[in-house]
Amino acid sequence: PNNLKPILARIDRIKHSNSLYNSLISVRDENVLKERTTNYFQKNKIVPYLCSIKDNIVTTEEATTCGSKILENYVSPFQATVVSILEGSNKGSQKDSQNFTKSIVIGKSNLDQFGMGSGTTNSIFEPTTNPLYKNQAHITGGSSGGAASIVTDDVCDYSIGTDTGGSIRLPAHYCGIIGFKPSYGRISRWGVIAYAQSFDTVGILSKDIKIIEDIYEQLNQYDPKDPTSLSNNLRKRIEEITKKRDEKLSIGLIQETNVEGISEEVSRSFNEAIEALFNINHTIRPVSLPSIKNSLPVYYTLALAEASSNLARYDGVRYGFHSKSSEASHGSDSSQKKDEFGPFSETRSEGFGKEVQKRILLGTYNLSSDSFKNNYLKANMVRKSLINQFNSVFKVPNVLSSTEEESKEQLRENKANNNKIDVLMFPVSTSTAPTLEDFLRKDSESSLNSYIDDVLTVPASLAGLPTIVVPWKSAANQMPIGIQVVGQFGDDQQVLEMGQLLL
Ligand code: GLN
């Protein structure tokens, strides 16, 4: 579009949309947004994108809260690399920002505290609700629920979210939009507040795959500030082994993802999608990845162990919230001590939500000497074997598990044998979005009930694999159903192309 009217109208709708669905924790000043948009348009003759940033990614213009009291008023002194790239202000960028459409950030989106949850209900800023449902409040899924909701309501062109164990994919599925979680290490995590650092990824939610591709193209670059960013050398190796593909794809259906309780609508949509691919001559192949069955407990063992150590930095001294009651009881003239850890434990008990506290305790236990051997190391071994099983089914070798020579040899062999697959395909969740009421009731009975929602999203996270969720609209279903496509590590391009094919 070459006029400003529609985008200015969307800026005018931000507050109203937010009052309906509570997608945003902070909203930038409308007049500033309009001025930035207009200036950019006048200078470049193109309309910028409007986007939101999940509130666990630091920005300097407002607080970055992680949805938690402990960071409620925390304003970062620096900005995340992803935000600087999108706004066209990243100094060390490997790509020329002039070649890309700039984005205007409208605000920060709601999330479960520190990304811990599957509903966007664990936020001190109240739950986000799903714009697809007008009569009764339904959840968006989590933890990037605000990111999904503001896109679903057509305010933003796209949102930046994070995905540790499904946080982009579950909301995309529940809200009927596209969610893309690239390979681990593709997009910079500099300025992304850690939940579980060996799983955390940054990704994109949108209704338009072209926008996802454009934003991914901008963000897909090495960042020297992020020690887990994929090196330029590995990026080059990946490019070499993933190019020149057959037009006809081989698509794997995993026996182990045929989990109990998949609803009729989910299996109907999924079967329709497979049939459509089959009808245009792609090959469908059953595969078996036995360790998938253990991925949920493995994820919740490792992610919580990492979280317990990441969240140790919130001590009330260096960051954010500091308990007042601790000052009252530990001040110099106070005669009675409340507990031996003093302000540290009071700040954390008041600052972290219940779910976060529970996870810190569980994670600390997993790392304690008793549990370390029995749980933590075992979980790591199962993670390893799951990665090996993924490697054994994909046509493209995993650059992280093989040397340059080995992976070239492997690729030749796999192509000759012709029994390997390009991508895997499975549902995102067993059902469509539950009502807020049902979700909260089940969650209060046991948080295991919401952990179970992650059973189909954590496998790709354990292996760091690129994954896209695209909505499948079936004539027989009321709501769109997300189809999940997973590729080999680094094979993001194939995953995006497959997403395109399903739309
Ligand atoms: N629901 C999962 C969890 O709570 C995943 C969350 C995420 O990806 N941030 O850990």
**Mean pLDDT, rounded, of the chain:** 94
pLDDT at 69: 97
Query: What is the reported pLDDT for 335?
Result: 47
Active-site annotation holds for 143: yes
167 is an active site residue? yes
Per-residue pLDDT at 338 exceeds 70: no
Domain ranges of the chain: 5-240+465-502, 297-372
**Residue nearest ligand 1's atom 5 by CA:** 165
Strands 283-287 and 250-254: parallel
One-letter amino acid of 496 = L
386-399 tens-digit pLDDT: 999 999 999 999 99
ipTM tops the 0.90 cut: yes
Cα(101)–Cα(91) distance, integer angstroms: 17
Q: Of the ranges 91-100, 132-141, 334-343, which is most confident?
A: 132-141
Establish whether residue 118 lines the binding site of ligand 1, counting it when its CB lies within 6 angstroms of any ligand atom: yes
Exposed / middle / buried, residue 439 (Cβ in 10 Å: 0-12, 13-18, 19+): buried
330 — pLDDT class (breaks 50, 70, 90): low
Paired with 254 in beta bridges are 287
Cβ of 144 closer than 6 Å to ligand 1, yes or no, is: no
Question: Would you say residue 236 has pLDDT above 70?
Answer: yes
Given the residues 143, 159, 308, 429, select the one marked as catalytic: 143
Asked about 407 being catalytic, the answer comes back as no
Yes or no: say if 145 and 171 are a contact pair by the CB < 8 Å rule. yes
Pocket flag, ligand 1, residue 171 (CB < 6 Å): no
Given a cut of 60, is residue 11 above it in pLDDT?
yes
Distance CA 488, CA 495 (A): 9
At residue 246 the predicted structure's pLDDT band, cuts being 50, 70 and 90, is confident
Res 502: pLDDT = 95
Exactly one of 167, 188, 291, 461 is catalytic; which is it?
A: 167
Could you tell me the two tokens for 337? 């001590």
User: What are the φ/ψ torsions at residue 82 (nearest 5 degrees)?
Assistant: -60, -40
Confidence category of residue 125, pLDDT binned at 50, 70, 90: very high
Taking the centre of ligand 1 as the mean of its atom positions, its distance from the CA of residue 176, in whole angstroms, is 19
Q: What are phi and psi of 453, to 5 degrees?
A: -60, -15
Contact 186, 74 (CB under 8 A): no
Is the model's pLDDT at 245 over the cut of 80? no
Packed helices 209-219 and 492-502: angle between N→C axes, nearest 10 degrees = 170
Encoded tokens for 342: 């003093």
Pocket probe for ligand 1: among 118, 160, 447, 461, the residue whose CB has the most ligand atoms within 8 Å is 118
Least confident of 227-236, 245-254, 290-299, 485-494: 245-254
**Cα separation, 360 vs 363, whole angstroms:** 5
Q: Report the atom number in ligand 1 closest to the C-alpha of 168.
A: 8
pLDDT digits (tens, 9 = 90+) for 269-297: 999 999 999 999 999 999 999 999 999 99
CB 316 less than 6 A from any atom of ligand 1: no
Least confident of 166-170, 181-185, 341-345: 341-345
Reported as a single tens digit per residue, the pLDDT across 103-123 is 999 999 999 999 999 999 999
Query: What's the gap in Å between 198 CA and the centre of ligand 1?
Result: 13
Instruction: Check residue 326 and give its pLDDT.
Output: 62
Coil vs helix vs strand at 447? coil
Instruction: Considering the candidates 17, 52, 54, 206, report the single residue annotated as catalytic.
Output: 54
Confidence of residue 76 (pLDDT cuts 50, 70, 90): very high
The C-alpha atoms of residue 200 and residue 164 are separated, in whole angstroms, by 4
What is the C-alpha to C-alpha distance for residues 373 and 501, in angstroms, rounded to an integer? 45
What fold characterizes domain 5-240+465-502? Amidase signature (AS) enzymes (3.90.1300)
3-state helix, strand, coil in the chain (%, to 5): 45, 15, 40
**Tens digits of per-residue pLDDT, 213-232?**
999 999 999 999 999 999 99
Does the structure show a pLDDT above 60 at 331?
no
Ligand 1 within 6 A of CB of 164: yes
Calculate how far, in angstroms, residue 117's C-alpha sits from the geometric centre of ligand 1: 5
Q: Is the pLDDT at 327 greater than 90, yes or no?
A: no
pLDDT of residue 81: 98
Angstrom distance (rounded) from CA 419 to CA 320: 54
CA of 363 to the centre of ligand 1 (A): 14
Rounded Cα distance, 64 and 57, in Å = 7
Q: How does DSSP assign 137-168, residue by residue?
A: -BB--SSSHHHHHHHHTTS-SEEEEEESSSTT
